[in-house]
């Protein structure tokens, strides 16, 4: 583990230098906190680190909508992948793990060239939470791992910067005037996020038929806010969109979808596999906390709490699970 020190007064200078060589993307607060491209030095002063971004960072890799290919009669054209080196700064541990989990799905398992092209050349610079930035966070319950190129730990007047990869080490060497070596260490207790261990029941496999799920189901609107704001959900639809230029011209597009929609499991003869709202409601939570883990050995969920905070009826499924009695 390599640890460096960066004075807080040097952070803006460091980021401004990054901006001149890479596309720099960081959390900016406007109406809400969201990751945006930093276009100028003034934008750097608007970087917001007090609260996590309302929207997940996944849209930079798993696009909300993208063209897979175009066809004109029997001619098929695949879009060229436009890749550029991007530095993402201010990513919380939950979102870093979310990227890792989506890498497992789209690169390790599906070998998706569109996702892989978007991930290529990306540098992940994390910002460690000293305490939970939201009352709905529960990342501390989920055994998240270290997954970053550099991680910044806030020490009031300065940052301790941990190197997590060769790419991170290369950035330190390239911009060494903004970093100094230090004998300070980052201990295991320094990585604990205070008030982020809300989920008390880590195994929900035997709770599927518990009647307490109704507490959430009865409030659910099936609006899909939870899956849209989730940094790990990866459901999508693929549709062909014809062109007004002629019946032979069309595009095949992939777009975000949601397991909370009845049409997501609709098949021929108008059969819907998860027609009831309760089935859909529980499916999302079980995929996040049980099904994915059975296959991959890790929860898909990273405990960011966005799905709770962004829910119109504020369904706190963590609280519901905690209050369930084992049957």
Write out pLDDT tens, residues 254-307. Answer: 999 999 999 888 888 888 899 999 999 999 999 999 999 999 999 999 999 999
CA distances (Å), 99 to each of 84, 146, 230, 310, in order?
A: 18, 12, 11, 20
User: How big is the chain, counted in residues?
Assistant: 327
How high is the mean pLDDT of the chain? 94
- Residue 224, CA atoms < 13 Å, CB-side half-sphere: 14
Name the DSSP letter for residue 232.
Answer: S
The Cα–Cα gap between 168 and 150 comes to: 5
CA 89 to chain centre: 14
For residues 141-150, give the mean pLDDT: 96
pLDDT digits (tens, 9 = 90+) for 38-64: 999 889 999 999 999 999 999 999 999
pLDDT digits (tens, 9 = 90+) for 82-140: 778 999 999 999 999 999 999 999 999 999 999 999 999 999 999 999 999 999 999 99
pLDDT of residue 327: 59
pLDDT of residue 229: 97
CA distances (Å), 95 to each of 29, 98, 216, 238, 259, in order?
A: 17, 5, 25, 26, 21
Bridge partners (DSSP) of residue 238 are 254
In the chain, % of residues over pLDDT 70: 99
For residues 247-251, give the mean pLDDT: 87
Strand bridging mode 158-163 / 180-181: unpaired
pLDDT of residue 246: 79
* Number of other residues whose CB lies within 10 A of the CB of residue 70: 17
The token duo for 271 is 């059969």
Query: Could you give the 3-state DSSP secondary structure of residue 150?
Result: strand
CA distances (Å), 281 to each of 182, 218, 278, in order?
A: 49, 10, 5
* Number of other residues whose CB lies within 10 A of the CB of residue 201: 15
- b/e code 220-259 from CB counts within 10 Å (16+ = b): beeebbbbbbbbbbbbbeeeeeeeeeeeeebbebbebbbb
Alpha helices per DSSP H over 45-179 = 93-103, 113-119, 166-174
pLDDT of residue 207: 96
The Cα–Cα gap between 158 and 182 comes to: 12
């Amino acid at each position: 583990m390599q640890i460096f020190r960066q004075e807080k007064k040097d952070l803006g200078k460091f980021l401004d230098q990054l901006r001149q060589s890479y596309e720099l993307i960081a959390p900016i607060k406007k109406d809400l906190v969201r990751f945006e491209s930093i276009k100028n030095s003034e934008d750097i002063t608007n970087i917001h680190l007090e609260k996590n971004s309302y929207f997940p960072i996944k849209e930079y890799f798993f696009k909300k909508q993208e063209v897979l290919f175009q066809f004109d009669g029997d001619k098929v054209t695949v879009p060229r992948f436009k890749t550029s080196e991007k530095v993402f700064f201010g990513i919380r541990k939950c979102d870093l793990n979310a990227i890792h989990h989506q890498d497992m799905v789209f690169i390790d398992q599906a070998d998706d060239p569109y996702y892989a092209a978007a991930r290529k050349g990306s540098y992940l610079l994390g910002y460690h939470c000293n305490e939970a930035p939201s009352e709905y966070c529960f990342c501390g319950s989920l055994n998240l791992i270290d997954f970053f190129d550099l991680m910044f730990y806030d020490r009031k007047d300065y940052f301790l910067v941990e190197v997590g990869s060769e790419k991170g080490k290369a950035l330190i060497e390239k911009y060494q005037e903004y970093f100094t070596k230090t004998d300070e260490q980052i201990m295991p207790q320094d990585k604990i996020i205070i008030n982020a261990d809300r989920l008390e029941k880590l195994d929900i496999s035997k709770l599927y038929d518990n009647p307490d799920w109704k507490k959430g189901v009865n409030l659910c609107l099936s609006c899909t806010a939870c899956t849209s704001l989730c940094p790990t959900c990866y459901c999508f639809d693929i549709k062909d969109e014809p062109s007004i230029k002629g019946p032979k011209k069309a595009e095949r597009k992939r777009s975000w979808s949601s397991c909370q929609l009845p049409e997501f499991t609709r098949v021929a003869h108008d059969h819907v596999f998860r027609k009831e709202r309760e089935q859909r409601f529980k499916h999302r939570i079980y995929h996040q906390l049980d099904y994915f883990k059975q296959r991959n050995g890790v929860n898909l969920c990273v405990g960011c709490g966005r799905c709770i905070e962004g829910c119109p009826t504020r369904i706190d499924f963590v609280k519901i699970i905690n209050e369930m009695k084992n049957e």
